[in-house]
A = this chain, B = another copy of it.
Amino acid sequence: MRTRFQQGLDQLRTRLLRMGGMAEQAIDRACQAYIDRDLNRCHMVLEGESKINEAEREIDLLAFDLLAMQQPTAVDLRFILAVTKINSDLERVGDQAVNIAERVMDMVELPKADLPVDIGRMAAAVAAMVRRALESFIEGKAELAQAVLEMDNVVDRMRDDAFITLVKTMNERPHITRQALDALLVARNLERVADHATNIAEDVIFWVRGADVRHNAQQENPPQEISPRATGA
Q: Judge whether A230 is part of the interface by a CB distance below 8 angstroms.
A: yes
Contact string against B for A residues 41-60, beta-carbon threshold 8 Å, 1 for contact and 0 otherwise: 00000000000000000101
> Is A108 part of the binding interface, using a Cβ–Cβ cutoff of 8 Å?
no
Residue of B nearest to A89 (CB): B88
Q: Are B7 and A226 in contact (CB under 8 A)?
A: yes
Given the complex, which residues of B lie within 8 Å of A175, measured CB to CB? 171
A229 to B77, Cβ gap below 8 A? no
**Which of these binds chain B: A32-40, A67-75, A139-147?**
A67-75
Chain A window 162-203, contacts with chain B (Cβ cutoff 8 Å), 1 for yes, 0 for no: 000001001100110110010011001000000000000000
Interface size for A (C-beta < 8 A) is 47
Given contacts A4-B227, A65-B224, 14 further A-B contacts (CB under 8 A): A8-B226, A14-B233, A62-B224, A63-B81, A64-B78, A65-B225, A66-B226, A68-B74, A68-B77, A69-B226, A84-B84, A167-B181, A170-B177, A185-B188
7 A-B interface contacts by CB (under 8 A): A11-B233, A65-B223, A65-B225, A66-B226, A88-B88, A167-B177, A171-B175
